[in-house]
Amino acid sequence: MSDTPSAAEIVERVAAGETSPEAEVERSLRAIDQRNPALNAFSVVLADQARQQARFLELGHGETRGPLYGVPVAIKEELDVAGCVTTFGGKGNSTPVAEDGEVVRRLREAGAVVVGKTHMPEFGSYPYTESDAYGYTRNPWRTSFSPGGSSGGSAVAVATGMVPVGLGGDGGGSIRVPAACCGLFGLKPQRGRITSAPHEHLWWALGTAGALTRTVLDSAVVLDVLRGHLPVDRWQAGEAGSFTEAAGRSPGSLRVGWSVTSPTKGVRAHADHVAAVRDTARLLSDLGHEVREVDPHYPEITPAFVPQFFAGIRTEADAVEHYDRLERRTRETYRLGSWVTPRVLRAALRQTERISAKANRVFDQVDVLLTPTTATRPPRLGVLDGAGTVRASQRSLPFIAYCAIWNVAGNPACSVPSGMGTDGLPIGVQLVGPTDGEELLFSLAAQIEQARPWPLLAPPPAG
């Protein structure tokens, strides 16, 4: 077993009596002490609470062990954890919440132990984990570079072995982008697969919670724990079987279409990313799949994405306690989004349905679509410094170009590690499935993982 075990390994070792929830929490807290100061992944570390929860598991729940029994997890700042302020990456709130959000409750019910919360840009507005309030979160592979975002804190926590599971959210690539930047597996589930309770939605039709992990199996187990909607949820996914079982079986022979054509005009994929897609296409062909280049004929997503982006920011800003404490850029975004009236938003949601239908036509000819996860390489830290809403959006566009369309369409999509770039930073390729196609993605991603294992941990700094 690894010195930094996966979630599945922890559960297995606890069941065998080789370790305990308390021991795994202590392992996690030691790693946080060692790695977090230089990387700034965690916004708050809940050491006492985590120790208490681990002790409670051992004393009171030995006979009802869930699928994440004893697994330390980290939670992105946009999700409620009882006793913590839900900061959304900024200073707009100051009062701790009384109860866990539903996804956090489900994790605890499955035996997971929450060890802390992780940094994000304010409201997850951009794919870089930088904020005026909390500074930069650093990529563990090269600390002067961005880990991506907006779930960058969770990605760094997992990539360094501080925890095996980090919870994130994805409204335009915010799980897949940091997964690609940090060498992790990250899957955005089908719209409506995971509840947004206590909220009706996360950025309307765009957002969903999800996990960042080092292995495909861990992600499948977590998603099986999190899945399921509640009456409050505006959207509901279709039927799907066990993701854990899917990660353990062969996908069979699939029709895989690959494309490096950008969904966004004027954006071109970096040469390293083109090479990664081509290498993965060759691997899939060698594994027995029917692989060919395709033109997805991407529809234009601006009429659906932009109004929901502004409406999402305005909804969250309206809900904080101290609007005046929000970042200047966030308040500018709020003002610029005043044109998104209820009528405009309803029109954007109708556009979402039309765009989804057009985007999904590619699955008439293929079972899975393979693309880059991002168009560009991770930038140096400070990419948002001094940038207003327009400039920050321009700087973000190449990072989300291949991802955001699938938030609009609602399809499941994942980033799979695909080696290292010429800059010494990880590369990810994106697999996109048809509607309700998570099982297919888990099976195929696990097959790639077995055929082409990826580094599971970012090394500690030399010296």
* Model confidence pLDDT, tens digit, residues 73-104: 999 999 999 999 999 999 999 999 999 999 99
Q: Which of 6, 28, 154, 174 is catalytic?
A: 174
What 3-state DSSP class applies to 146? coil
**Is residue 456 in some structural domain?**
no
**Is residue 225 in some structural domain?**
yes
Residue 1 has pLDDT above 70, yes or no: no
Number of independent structural domains in the chain: 1
* Model confidence pLDDT, tens digit, residues 328-352: 999 999 999 999 999 999 999 999 9
**Is residue 462 in some structural domain?**
no
* Annotated catalytic residue 188: no
Band (pLDDT 50/70/90 cuts) for residue 61 is low
* Annotated catalytic residue 150: yes
Q: Structure pTM?
A: 0.97
Which residues neighbour 40 within 8 Å (Cβ) at sequence distance 6 or greater?
119, 134, 135, 136, 137, 138, 153
**Is residue 271 in some structural domain?**
yes
Q: Which of 28, 76, 188, 443 is catalytic?
A: 76
* Model confidence pLDDT, tens digit, residues 418-435: 999 999 999 999 999 999
Question: Which pLDDT belongs to residue 236?
Answer: 95
Question: Which pLDDT belongs to residue 81?
Answer: 98
* Annotated catalytic residue 174: yes
Q: Which of 150, 262, 396, 443 is catalytic?
A: 150
Which residues neighbour 385 within 8 Å (Cβ) at sequence distance 6 or greater?
130
Q: What CATH code is carried by the domain that includes residue 211?
A: 3.90.1300.10
**Is residue 460 in some structural domain?**
no
Longest CA span, the chain: 59
- Tally Cβ neighbours within 10 Å of residue 350: 12
Domain that holds residue 364: 7-451
Question: Which pLDDT belongs to residue 58?
Answer: 87
**Is residue 458 in some structural domain?**
no
**Is residue 457 in some structural domain?**
no
Residue 63 has pLDDT above 90, yes or no: no
Residue 177 has pLDDT above 80, yes or no: yes
**Is residue 261 in some structural domain?**
yes
